Amino acid sequence: MNEKVNQLVGQASKIVIVQADNPDADSLGSALALEQILGEMGKSIALYCGVDMPDYLKYLPGWDRVLKDLPSQFDLSVIVDASTYTLLEKLESSGQLAWLKAKPSIVLDHHALVENPLDFASASIIDPNVASTGELIYNLARELKWPLDKTSGEFIMASILGDTQGLTNDLAKASTYIVMAKLIELGVDRPALEEKRREASKMPEKILRYKAKLIERVEFTTNGKLATATIPQNEINEFSPLYNPGVLIQFDMLQTQGVLMSIVFKVYDRDRVTAKIRCNSGAPIANKLAEHFGAGGHPYSAGFKVEDGTPFDQIKSDCLETATKLLNNLTK
């Protein structure tokens, strides 16, 4: 399959790199790494994502090159960190998914099991043995002798650190640490990368005071193993332009003694609900909770959304009941 990927890339002149509708450090890092690698190979690259890049990812230079409209002219698409129709709803709703289906397409992902998998790709590499799609891209580039340099290496490192929560969960295997070492040999400065991430994560005073209010509202259930917080539409409108409320509170929820899983609900108008799920090491069940709602993700990082008008109280009750069963099953 690697040679098929190499053949498709070799035949293409204009390539669009596609991220899912829920961009994270892995998807953006992978997209920017491929942009650098394939650009060095003389390809013309465009970057696409159906939603705006979250502020916490804007420490990665090049985030502002990601477009919300799929280019009309391209020879090949490469879909990174996604292998399901569920994560490409913006393309489906706009009718632009037909453009991808009409041209050769490559899927690069590390999620082994997904709902509603993509069935139109000319070539797919899905490797659940790597920690992130960025790590997959590094291995692919090494095997196919694609150019790797400090710039692409920094993006790959960001993708690995994102999905492994800074190399703290068990997605990071011995092979992941070897790749990290190779990236450092390329000249990537991990402390400098971390400092850029921290600088981009600094908050205005108004956000710090809002964070205090959010902390007061955190609920603990399941004998303290599950922490939840709810963000209503009016707070999304007021604070999201300054800082993502979910990112603001979720790490602290996981840092509470006894907490294994945290869920941040966002409740929008017209009964639209999203949920961001994060788990601590030893509780690889985030994806299982998301799957209950027809979505997916990683064992330690996942999410779902419900847009069929189901009342939030019903969604929350179902979510907490399912999460409690998953948490209790960890000890069996």
Query: Can you give the pLDDT of all 332 residues of the chain as single tens digits?
Result: 788 999 999 999 999 999 988 899 999 999 999 999 999 999 999 999 999 988 889 999 999 999 999 998 999 999 999 888 888 888 988 888 888 899 999 999 998 766 778 889 999 999 999 999 999 999 999 999 999 999 999 999 999 999 888 898 888 999 999 999 999 999 999 999 999 988 888 889 999 999 999 999 999 999 999 999 999 999 999 998 888 888 889 999 999 999 999 999 999 988 899 999 999 988 999 999 999 998 878 888 889 989 889 999 999 999 999 999 999 998 75
The predicted model scores a pTM of 0.80
Of 32, 307, 26, 320, nearest to 164 (Cα)?
26
pLDDT score for 6: 93
Domain coordinates of the chain in residue numbers? 2-198, 205-329
CA distance 298 to 292: 14
Burial label for 11, CB within 10 Å (0-12, 13-18, 19+), is exposed
Whether 2-198 shares its CATH topology with 205-329 is answered: no
pLDDT score for 296: 78
pLDDT score for 86: 80
pLDDT score for 112: 74
The set of residues, in sequence order, having a beta carbon less than 8 Å from that of 220 and lying 6+ positions away, is 226, 227, 256, 259
Query: What class, spelled out in words, does domain 2-198 have in CATH?
Result: alpha beta
pLDDT score for 217: 95
pLDDT score for 89: 86
Distance, C-alpha 303 to centroid of its chain? 10
Q: Please name the CATH architecture into which domain 205-329 falls.
A: Roll (3.10)
DSSP string, 99-141: HHHHS-EEEEE--S--SSB----SEEEE-TTSSSHHHHHHHHH
pLDDT score for 332: 59
Q: What is the pLDDT of residues 210-242, one digit of tens each?
A: 999 999 999 999 999 999 999 999 999 999 888
